[in-house]
Amino acid sequence: MPLATENRIWDPAETLPRDELAGLQAERLRGTLARVAQNRFYREALARARVEPEGIRSPDDVRRLPFTVKDDLRENYPLGLLTVPRAEVARVHGSSGTTGRPTFVAYTRGDLERWSGLCARFLVAGGLRPEHLVHVAFGYGLFTGGFGLHQGIERVGAGVVPAAGGNTPRQVMLLRDLRPEVLVCTPSYALHIAEVARAEGVDPRQLGLAFGHFGGEPWTEQMRGAIEQELGLAAFNNYGLSEVVGPGVAGECGARGGMHVSEDHFLVECLHPVTLEPAREGEVGELVFTSLTKEAMPVLRYRTRDLASLDRAPCPCGRSGVRMSRVVGRSDDMLIIRGVNVFPSQVEEALLRVEGAAPHYLIEVARPGTLDEAVVKVEIRPRNFSDEMRQMVELRDRLDHEIHSVTGIRMKVELVAPNTLARSEGKARRVIDHRTERR
């Protein structure tokens, strides 16, 4: 596969041979255990699991450690999981709390330094050069996206336009007038910028953008194609979450065959979300991260709920870090229909294939008799509506066929009128499982 950009490596640690990496990981894992022993929550958890730092011989020993989940952060709100004196905290970030009470994470001065370097890694791997100007349309605030990327860009030595979120016509004006080479935002916002640019009479392909670094939400290859087409740039995927550090946990190289995890800073596991046994090579599972270098609030085996697969095959770019796939779903969203694991994101992908852009949809699962039955309700959109019944039936059949080919099971497709599926606070409800509601 041709590289999307010239291969340049920011940090020699990215190409560390695997055996040296394993040694470094074991040593750093012992350091993390010594650090978390400063905190009562972790001290008790480790005592229950009967783990001593000296007992860690290899990175695989991470499997003996207890898990950490989002609720542990909530229960220790606001900064109960701090492992350094409060005076050493240099920064606090947080999650939005869309799914419950907000959670905070903390950084020491050293954490911020390392985090900047981690963002610099994927930015450089994805084409960023010191002579570039970068437009950052991530929110600056408690959300890690804005400041995380900002610091990474400055670390590389490139220029930043800290546009932050909102007021899209103004973003278009900034892009048109300042002509940055690189765009940083969420993938859906990139498409929105292109749309608004067109509405403002600006051809988004003429903005002069060369690279885009997109993250903060799951997206698809189809969306990458659409963004590249609309904005005329090479789009790169990156991954991170505030509990682990923020953006910079993993990012794509020019080969764009998965995101290299910075394994010298994070131990990654891919586990079956129910049994918590390691997923087979290439199989989708829940990603679990353990901090190796974080000082202020390291996590032990943090269950991300993000579903992805890991690829340990060597990458032509020379980076030794394992590659994670796109996030294909959330383990909370996984549905088991007639024994088959199905994710709403798969249904979304099927709809995308047929319609070119994902319409609003709702998956309803019920068990009227002994067998599960799944119905996908799809809102009809003006561009796909025809006055000819034949074409409407064809559209439904194509949706039906794609859903079957992506998920492997038959789901009944029902076309519904627009704006009839419930939306709550901008986030659409994707699944109603009548089987669990009855219980």
Partner 1 sequence: MKLRQLSLFLENRPGQLKLPCQVLGQAGIDILSLSLADTQQFGILRLIVKDEDRARRALEQAGCVVKVTEVLALEVADRAGGLAEVLEAFERSGLSVEYIYPLSAGHRGKTAVLAFRVEDPDRAVKLLAENGVRVLSREEAFAAMGA
Note the residues at the interface with partner 1 (CB under 8 A): 380-382, 385-390, 392-393, 414-420
Characterize 217-248 residue by residue with b for buried, 16 or more Cβ atoms within 10 angstroms of its Cβ, and e for exposed.
ebbbeebbebbeebbbbbbbbbbbbbbbbbbb
Between CA 267 and CA 178 the distance in angstroms is 40
Between CA 368 and CA 362 the distance in angstroms is 18
Which CB sits closer to partner 1, 391 or 405? 391
Q: How far is the CB of 378 from partner 1 (least distance, A)?
A: 11
Between CA 308 and CA 312 the distance in angstroms is 13
Which CB sits closer to partner 1, 229 or 386? 386
Q: How far is the CB of 418 from partner 1 (least distance, A)?
A: 6
What is residue 252's three-state secondary structure?
strand
Which CB sits closer to partner 1, 296 or 380? 380
Q: How far is the CB of 395 from partner 1 (least distance, A)?
A: 11
Q: How far is the CB of 385 from partner 1 (least distance, A)?
A: 5
The two structure tokens encoding residue 6: 């010239």
Which CB sits closer to partner 1, 382 or 426? 382
Q: How far is the CB of 393 from partner 1 (least distance, A)?
A: 7
Which CB sits closer to partner 1, 184 or 351? 351
Which CB sits closer to partner 1, 383 or 438? 383
Q: How far is the CB of 391 from partner 1 (least distance, A)?
A: 10
Q: How far is the CB of 383 from partner 1 (least distance, A)?
A: 10
Which CB sits closer to partner 1, 230 or 400? 400
Which CB sits closer to partner 1, 58 or 386? 386
Q: How far is the CB of 373 from partner 1 (least distance, A)?
A: 15
How many other CB atoms are there within 10 angstroms of residue 186's CB atom?
Answer: 18
**Going by DSSP bridges, is the β-strand pair 211-214/133-136 parallel, antiparallel, or unpaired?**
unpaired
CB–CB of 318/373 below 8 Å? Answer: no
What is residue 214's three-state secondary structure?
strand
DSSP string covering 281-311 = TT--EEEEEEESS-SSS--SSEEEEEEE-EE
Q: How far is the CB of 354 from partner 1 (least distance, A)?
A: 17
| Residues linked to residue 241 through DSSP beta bridges, in sequence order | 246
CB–CB of 292/267 below 8 Å? Answer: yes
| Residues linked to residue 375 through DSSP beta bridges, in sequence order | 364, 412
Between CA 144 and CA 147 the distance in angstroms is 6
> Cα separations (Å) of 369 from 28, 77, 302, 372?
54, 45, 39, 8
Whether the ω angle into residue 12 lies within 30 degrees of 0, i.e. cis, is no
Which CB sits closer to partner 1, 86 or 390? 390
Between CA 50 and CA 45 the distance in angstroms is 9
